[in-house]
Amino acid sequence: MARARKAPGGFRWGRAVRNIALTFLALVVVGPIAAVVVYRFAPPPLTILMLERRVEGHGIDHRWVPLSQMSPALPRAAIAAEDARFCEHHGFDFRAIELAMQHDERHPGRIRGGSTISQQTAKNVFLWPDRSWVRKGLEAYFTVLIEAIWGKRRIMEVYLNTVEMGPGVYGVEAAAQRYFHVSARQLTPFQAARLIAILPSPLKWRAIDPGPYVRRRSGRIDAGEGAVRRQGSADCLA
């Protein structure tokens, strides 16, 4: 008895499903991994936030500089202010997340973030700035990737080169020259603390002639930077 032939339409439908699956795999799995591998060695030229700010009317002052050409006080100040356990965790500080959730329950009008420097870097380089669950899920995925492929030193290097530090100002080299007229290598510990102090609200807070809160925060970060140095909390960057 002759076998029944498959309908051409069914064959085309199966091929279309396969192509869709392969495209999805490339976009969701292969694409992000490839991008992370490329940025392991090449500086990210632009971010989505930079483009959004450009549309809003800000310029883009972004000057890449290797971590080795930054004042050592800069990464130590970032750890003191943003992520005290940066060298200990693997991308997520669950203790800090729990404390942030407890704080938010007690003070619903003052939300405290629990994101690590690794998470912030993943968001800054690969994603867009909002608080949706989709973005948070992608942020977690990219955080795992950069922790595995980049390592701590590269994560800190990219973070300090891409973070927003004022209207149209991105990275510590552009900020150091804009605000203090020196290179990132020449920043004093106090100046490094002042730059890091404005990171939570870089469009609102000023590194030069700041208000009382930023001055107090700078002092705490300056003291914390010294503690990070003495305790070896930034040794993973050596």
pLDDT for 105 equals: 63
Domains of the chain: 44-237 (1.10.3810.10)
At 158, the pLDDT band (50, 70, 90 cuts) reads very high
Host H or E run for residue 61: strand 61-62
Instruction: Say how many Å lie between the first and final Cα of the chain, rounded.
Output: 75
* Higher pLDDT among residues 9 and 90, named by residue: 90
Nearest partner of 122 among 173, 95, 158, 98, judged by Cα: 158
Residues 171-192 pLDDT 10s: 999 999 999 999 999 999 999 9
State both tokens at 146. Answer: 């950069």
pLDDT band for 111, please (50, 70, 90 cuts): low
- Could you give the C-alpha distances from 95 to 88, 99, 146, in angstroms and in order? 12, 6, 21
58 compared with 95, residue with greater pLDDT = 58
Question: How many C-alpha atoms does 52 have within 13 Å on its Cβ side?
Answer: 9
Q: How far apart are CA 171 and CA 63, in angstroms?
A: 7
Res 226 pLDDT > 70: yes
Question: Is residue 40 very low, low, confident or very high in pLDDT (cuts 50, 70, 90)?
Answer: very high
pLDDT above 60 for 82: yes
**Helix, strand counts (H, E) of the chain:** 11, 2
What radius of gyration, in Å, describes the C-alpha atoms of the chain? 22
Q: State mean pLDDT over 105-127.
A: 80
91-105, 108-122, 148-162, range with the lowest pLDDT? 91-105
Q: What percent of the chain stands above pLDDT 90?
A: 74
Helix spans in 43-85 (H)? 48-55, 73-82
What does the block give as tokens for 227? Answer: 């503690």
The pLDDT confidence band at residue 198, using thresholds 50, 70 and 90, is: very high
DSSP state letters, 152-211:
HHHHHHHHHHHSB-STTEESHHHHHHHHHSS-GGG--HHHHHHHHHTTTSTTTS-SSS--
